[in-house]
Amino acid sequence: QLVIDNIYRLIEYPGALQVVNFAEGKVSLAVLKAYYGGPLIANALSTMREHMPHIDTRVAAIFRHDRP
């Protein structure tokens, strides 16, 4: 069941590398990788809502060159 739940969360969040739920599914943490030319590159964090208007988002961490 654990594997099925994990696969379901990845389908629910296309592009996510990993999704972890907290607080009985009320909060989700998704790991994303920004790719050159993608909407997460060269855009201010304040514009993130424009790219994902139906998702309430917060940025927990940013890694560059595998470093926080």
pTM: 0.68
How far is it, in rounded angstroms, from Cα 41 to Cα 60? 17
> What average pLDDT values come out for the chain (68 residues) when binned by 10 residues?
88 88 89 85 84 83 85
Task: Identify the pLDDT of residue 39.
Answer: 78
Residue 48 in tokens: 């993130």
Task: Identify the pLDDT of residue 22.
Answer: 92
| Structural domain boundaries enclosing 29 | 2-51
Task: Identify the pLDDT of residue 33.
Answer: 87
Number of domains in the chain: 1
28, 22 contact by CB (below 8 A): yes
Task: Identify the pLDDT of residue 45.
Answer: 85
Residue 42 in tokens: 């060269």
Task: Identify the pLDDT of residue 56.
Answer: 83
- Please indicate, yes or no, if residue 63 is contained in any of the structural domains: no
- Please indicate, yes or no, if residue 56 is contained in any of the structural domains: no
Which residue(s) pair with 27 in the sheet? 22
Give Cα 27 to chain centroid, integer Å.
Answer: 12
- Please indicate, yes or no, if residue 61 is contained in any of the structural domains: no
